[in-house]
Every structure is written in C-alpha cells, then in structure tokens.
Amino acid sequence: MLGIGLSLASLYRGDMANMILAASSGVAAAAHTGTTAETVIDTIAVPAIGANGLLFVHTVWTAGANNANAKNCRVRLTDLSGAIIGTLSLASTLYGNRDVTMWNRNSESSQFSFSGGTSTSFGTTTLAHTTASVDTSAGFNIVLTAALASAADSVTREAYFVGYIRKP
C-alpha cells in the first residue's frame, strides 16, 4: 500500500509479470568529507524499465555540521556526468530526505522528472521539470553523489531505496 489507499498494482493495471519493484536498498551509512569535488557515494544498477516504466529513488542524508556551507546530495542518471534528477541541499540544516520519481514517456530513451535542481520532492517550484535521454531498454545506473562547499564539512548518506515499475 502507498499509504493513500492505493497499491502499486493499481497504478499500472495490466500484466503483473512486468512489475518488479525493488532494484536495491541500503542502510549502511556512507560518509563523504575532505574534498569539494562532487563524489560518487553509490552506484545502483537498474534493469530495463520499458517505454512506459517509472523509477523512484528515496534517499536519507545527514550533515556533519549545521552551518551555512552547502552540502549538495544528488541523484544522477548513468554516472557522475549524467542528468541530475534530484538534489537535496543541506545548508543550514542537519537532516533531509529526497524522493525522486522519473517516468519514461512512451519511449525507452525519453524521461522526465520533477525538477532535479530543487530540494523539493513535492509541491510547487518555479523550475522546469528535468528531461533526459538515457537508453533504458537495457540496464542503466542510478548514481548518488555528494558535493561540499568546504572540504572541512561532511555529509552522510544514511539510507536509500531504488525501485521501478517495468511497463512496456
């Protein structure tokens, strides 16, 4: 159940054989400190999701210090240079969650998601949605990264969940 009286099965009616939910999850904390360069924290393999499939990523992060320095946590497609489909900034805060949903638009190489440049998972934003053109007809990667404004700061990815619904 999704908590609002709907099961995931009711979101996509059809062949249940095409639905697989969990790609990966992790609760072993992974810390990042000592450099301001954006650094890969996790690489998660996702199988093909189909022309109308969707991907969802939930991440939990903590900052080592509650200061004004930016601690940017990102969800990217494919690799460190891939499209940013989710961002969480932990400037002047200690803890945050980020939920990202990405949909294929009747094509295995055309995606869109809520703006990847905002820390808001739900609600409104003045930013346009994020688009990408990743080939999802075969397996692809989701990459969780962190970048610090000050190398003296730290950020920790506390947990993540990556799931998908395969829909041709």
Specify if 51 maps to a domain.
yes
pLDDT in tens, 97-122: 988 889 999 999 999 887 555 555 55
Specify if 134 maps to a domain.
yes
User: What is the C-alpha to C-alpha distance for residues 130 and 86, in angstroms, rounded to an integer?
Assistant: 9
Specify if 142 maps to a domain.
yes
Specify if 14 maps to a domain.
no
Residue 91 scores a pLDDT above 60: yes
Specify if 57 maps to a domain.
yes
**b or e along 47-73 (b: 16 or more beta carbons within 10 Å of the residue's beta carbon)?**
ebbbbbbbbbbbbbbbbbeebebbbbb
Print the domain residue range for 48.
20-165
Specify if 11 maps to a domain.
no
Specify if 6 maps to a domain.
no
Please give the share of the chain, as a percent, with pLDDT higher than 70: 80
CATH number of the domain residue 76 falls in: 2.60.120
Count of domains observed in the chain: 1
Specify if 78 maps to a domain.
yes
pLDDT band at 124 (very low <50, low <70, confident <90, very high): low
Cβ-based neighbour number of residue 3 at 10 Å: 5
pTM: 0.83
